[in-house]
Amino acid sequence: MWFEKWFSSKLYLDLYRHRNDEDARQIINLLQRSLSINTKSKVLDIACGAGRHSLELARRGFEVTGFDLSNFLISEAKKNLKNAKEKNLHVKFFIKDMRNFNFKNSFDIVVNIFTSFGYFEEDRENFRVIENVSGSLKKNGYFLFDYFNKTYLEKNLVPFSRNKVGSYVMKQKRRIENGFVKKEIVIENKNKVMRFEEKLKLYSALEFKRTFENYGLVIKKLFGDYYGNKFHENKSQRLIIIAQKVSYILLFLVTLYSGCGLFDTREVEPPSAPRSTFIQPTSPDIVLANLNFAISEKNRDNYLRCMVDSNFSTRRFKFFPDAVSQSSYPVFLNWNLTHERNYYSNLLSFTNETASSNLFLSNITINTGIDSAVIDSDYILVFDHNRPNVAKVTKGKLRFIMGSDIRSLWSIHSWFDFTDNSNDTTWSVLKANFVN
């Protein structure tokens, strides 16, 4: 891969020597101005390079762990630590691939600075880094992310530059191709010519927002430079994000009610294909989030994935309607997962793609045991279907009993529906009307 060759060369540090310690001070200043954080916090520096930012954080009292794939850059980081004026800095460096790490809720802060992202061909590989960040952060921990601004770069790309560093002449050709910004680097020294390349994936602010939220990270601050100026999609050269790890219930509420306020310089474009948001359900609150996403995105498969899978559990799915529906609709005598599938499939067939569909949960309580959980909540379900004489808004109370299967993944195995008001139509009624 291009980065293995380029990041193993001393010439990489020579080319970017203008990104110096002052740059590192500016962005760490921004982090500390933006958040109220304890300087004894544990910080993870992903793709730390030669350690500029790790060392600056350690100078301020943070306990820092930095890693990089490049053996050369980690060696340089250790040399810089050894030669630092300050002694007894709490920082350690080691070699690791950013696609393969998870420190299991160990860090208060994770940083990824100086466009150290987007190296890989596939989105799933790039976004795996974000998933790993979320897994490594403590609850309510923060992620500082520094990348280029795609929109600005596309409009202001410099196709060619030439500069001299010592005895080296460095020429750089840049182009945008197939969703990547590509750079050809030619370095000449007397009669010797060396060639390298850089290739980074282009992602918009909105794409990062969606990806962060998929992994439980909510954007709290957004800047356009290291000095803390507001991000503007057409004017800012950098995209600097401070995100916080939150519970998936809070994440869903933030997503539902806040829209894209952080990115209000541009209208949100309608998706070109149906969205599919599903997060590995490693806890009961994630199941609730997945259920919400499956309803808002009208995704039948993801909806059913929220229910117990008998291939991995001895439990079977059961639905218990409210008392009135139990006596009114015989279908509930033996309701199972097949009925659940038929109900939701038929409901979707009577609902336009652009129609409203949302689940609102409130007064949620979650009582979790070792491998089981009981969730109680009030609900309002809005489904703007086009079947006549069937309510589009249902209200009531629900109880989910969830369990963890042999894969340690959570799902709903028992679903109880209750009426909150005799005048309201419950979810049970909606199911009965769409099961056939």
The helices-and-strands tally (H runs, E runs) of the chain is: 14, 16
Digitized pLDDT (tens) for each residue of the chain, 436 residues in all:
899 998 999 888 887 876 678 889 999 999 999 999 999 999 999 999 999 999 999 999 999 999 999 999 999 999 999 999 999 999 999 999 999 999 999 999 999 999 999 999 999 999 999 999 999 999 899 999 999 999 999 999 999 999 888 889 999 999 999 999 999 999 999 889 999 999 999 999 989 988 898 788 889 999 999 999 999 999 999 999 999 998 666 666 555 555 445 554 443 444 444 567 888 898 898 899 899 999 999 999 999 999 999 999 999 999 999 999 999 999 999 999 999 999 999 999 999 988 989 998 888 888 988 889 999 999 999 999 999 999 999 999 999 999 999 999 999 999 999 998 778 899 999 999 999 9
What is the SS3 assignment for 307? strand
- Predicted TM-score (pTM) of this structure: 0.65
Indicate the class that CATH gives domain 154-201. mainly beta
Please tell me the CATH code under which domain 284-434 is placed: 3.10.450.50
Q: Which residues contact 114 (CB under 8 A, 6 or more apart)?
A: 19, 23, 49, 53, 146
Q: Reduce the secondary structure of 274-304 to three states and give it as a string.
A: CCCCCCCCCCHHHHHHHHHHHHHCCCHHHHH
Distances (CA, A) of 33 to 28, 114, 226: 9, 19, 11
The torsion angles phi and psi of 393, rounded to 5 degrees, stand at: -125, 125
* Orientation angle between helical segments 248-258 and 205-214, nearest 10 degrees: 150
What is the SS3 assignment for 124? helix
Q: Please identify which residue in the block is written with the tokens 């809005």.
A: 382
Contact 311, 247 (CB under 8 A): no
Q: Which residues contact 2 (CB under 8 A, 6 or more apart)?
A: 196, 197, 198, 199
Give ranges for CATH 3.10.450.50 in the chain: 284-434
The fold of 6-152+203-248 is Rossmann fold (3.40.50)
Give ranges for CATH 3.40.50.150 in the chain: 6-152+203-248
Give ranges for CATH 2.20.25 in the chain: 154-201
